[in-house]
Amino acid sequence: MAALFEVGRGPNTRHQHDSPKIDALRPYKDAIFQALRKASLEQITQLLNNSGVEISKPQLARAVQLFKKETRAERAGVPSPTAPPSTDPKLKQAAAELLRVAQGPNRRHPHPAPKQEQLRERREQLLRDREKGKTIPEIVQDLRRQGINISHAQALRIITLFQNEERTKPSHYAAPQPEPLAVHEDPPKANAPSSKPKAPITNKAREDALQETIRQSRRTAAKAPKTRLPPGDFERGKGGPSRPSPDR
């Protein structure tokens, strides 16, 4: 029992045999991180083994986790252990292969997933079900009735992929061209004055018009009712004829 306590208080000896390999890969951790964006952990392990670097997938996974912790510590200002680049030509070749993978096409999923291809035949139906408000558990239940064993996470991921494909699909809709605006012309008015140029008015025409105006004024005055004056034997006062004149 005492020996167990001593082991618990002592340094971690569980993966001490991994330390030389991790220290050798530490200078190339940036290349490993870049390659992980395009390739899986298993593919990188195979690449390292083909380059002569013997490492297993669990060992590489532990190295990647340790490098991530060191990177987070560096961002927080804590210095992380450093190691000089190895002079081993195998490691240099492996680092060059990692950079080539990082700059190449995506090799993480070179072939479509079987479940994705299986559901692609039902793509339109799945999209319609989601538009109608059907939940993922209901869709998964229907698929399992049809003999497709799929989890909720897989169904959600695949349906989201189908929805993104639908949104990025080029549209064949052609917007209608606007028709030219018609110019509305009002019909000519019946009483509208003629657009013909008027003849200049002469002096003779002006005199005739003046004489006609005078004659019209006289006829109007003749037709007006005449005002009767009071008799001459009454004085006109302020209020009208009120008393006879004393001279008469």
3-class DSSP assignment, residue 1? coil
Looking at residue 4, its pLDDT comes to 47
3-class DSSP assignment, residue 4? helix
Among 162, 164, 172, which Cα is nearest to 139's? 162
CA distance 228 to 236: 14
> pLDDT digits over 156-189, tens only?
988 998 888 888 766 555 555 666 655 556 665 6
pLDDT tens per residue, the chain (248 residues)?
555 445 455 444 444 555 788 888 888 888 888 888 888 888 888 888 888 888 888 998 999 999 889 888 888 887 767 666 667 788 888 888 888 888 877 666 555 567 788 888 888 999 999 999 999 999 999 999 888 888 888 889 889 988 888 887 665 555 556 666 555 566 656 555 555 555 566 777 778 888 888 888 888 777 766 666 555 555 555 555 555 555 54
Report angle CA 30, 36, 38 to the nearest 5 degrees: 120
> pLDDT digits over 77-112, tens only?
877 676 666 677 888 888 888 888 888 776 665 555
Specify the long-range contacts of residues 83-90, CB closer than 8 Å, at least 24 apart: 83/23, 83/24, 83/26, 83/27, 84/27, 85/27, 86/24, 86/27, 88/24, 90/51, 90/52, 90/53
CB 107 within 8 A of CB 48: no
